[in-house]
Amino acid sequence: MRIGFLGYGKIGKAVAAHVIERGDEVAFVQDPFVAEAGGAPVVAESDEALLASTDLVVECAMASALKANFDAIIEHCDLLCFSLTAFADEAFLAHAREECARTGHTVFVPHGAILGLDGIADGSRIIESVSITTTKSPKSLGLNPEEYSEPTVVFEGSTRDACGAFPRNVNVHAAVALAGIGFDKTCSRIVADPSVSTNAHVISVKGEGIEFELHISSFTTGGVTGIYTPLSACGSVDRVLGGAAGLAFV
């Protein structure tokens, strides 16, 4: 299989190394700030010829890059994307669904930094309420650390509005909204806590006869991504590409 990368930072590099380890090929790396990617072709803009010979593109750049490159990618390939706050734009989500139907290609939504997205999607018909609280350091949220001496709620409202306010930090909220009851009904809370060096998420789901609460915490490695996400991204790529014999967790 040939896998292309839109974005070659923390997640992109980890997944590209995994792709090579699997015996698959890195078709291209598209990242305007990268000059070399282990011998794979590096492009600054989307390249139709490369996309036409690619099976899957992994987007791990940012929401604006996903939106800007979506049409070119989905015309030729399936897409596994991490910058899910892009889908809080209702028109873009509707367009993405239409383009998938037209082209027969799939947008894969990975569980990323959290767990249980499959379970939430499975139960979505009977789920009535979903809330997510994310606690990160002010720095990780892109806020000025000097302004926060104690845990402070910096956002409370719909996931749609959270995606607008913190587009780089609430991709997991967007993932849960997509899997569950949508961007307007899902409630988001973001806490800036100067004492933490983790990204922590508490997801509460209630519905007809069901109740789940998920607590997920992962140390940060600097930037927006915790140590768990690159591992989970490699697992998602394995599930998308398939081909391994043995036990499969679905």
Ligand X SMILES: NC(=O)c1ccc[n+]([C@@H]2O[C@H](COP(=O)([O-])OP(=O)(O)OC[C@H]3O[C@@H](n4cnc5c(N)ncnc54)[C@H](O)[C@@H]3O)[C@@H](O)[C@H]2O)c1
Site for ligand X in 58-77 (CB under 6 A): 60-62, 65
Residue 32 within binding range of ligand X, rule CB under 6 A: yes
Do the beta carbons of residue 109 and residue 115 sit within 8 Å? no
**Among 3, 4, 7, 141, interactor with ligand X by CB under 6 A:** 7
In angstroms, rounded to a whole number, what is the distance separating the alpha carbons of residues 224 and 210? 32
Residues 6+ apart with CB under 8 A from 138: 144, 145, 147, 148, 192, 193, 194
Residue 194 within binding range of ligand X, rule CB under 6 A: no
**Among 3, 19, 27, 30, interactor with ligand X by CB under 6 A:** 30
Q: Are strands 78-81 and 56-59 parallel, antiparallel or unpaired?
A: parallel
Do the beta carbons of residue 204 and residue 130 sit within 8 Å? yes
Smallest distance, ligand X to C-beta of residue 19, A: 15
Residue 139 within binding range of ligand X, rule CB under 6 A: no
Residue 35 within binding range of ligand X, rule CB under 6 A: no
In angstroms, rounded to a whole number, what is the distance separating the alpha carbons of residues 205 and 88? 20
Residue 123 within binding range of ligand X, rule CB under 6 A: no
List residues with catalytic annotation.
201
Closest to ligand X by CB, 112 vs 138, is 112
**Among 40, 50, 77, 175, interactor with ligand X by CB under 6 A:** 175
Closest to ligand X by CB, 157 vs 223, is 223
**Among 3, 16, 26, 31, interactor with ligand X by CB under 6 A:** 31
Closest to ligand X by CB, 112 vs 207, is 112
Do the beta carbons of residue 170 and residue 190 sit within 8 Å? yes
Residue 190 within binding range of ligand X, rule CB under 6 A: no
Residue 172 within binding range of ligand X, rule CB under 6 A: yes
Residue 137 within binding range of ligand X, rule CB under 6 A: no
Q: Which residue has the tokens 């909204």?
A: 177
C-alpha gyration radius of the chain: 18
Strand stretches in the chain, DSSP E: 2-6, 25-30, 42-43, 56-59, 78-81, 107-108, 127-136, 152-158, 187-192, 198-207, 210-219
Do the beta carbons of residue 7 and residue 62 sit within 8 Å? yes
Site for ligand X in 82-101 (CB under 6 A): 82-84
Binding residues for ligand X, per CB under 6 A?
6-12, 30-34, 60-62, 65, 82-84, 112-113, 168, 171-172, 175, 223-225, 229
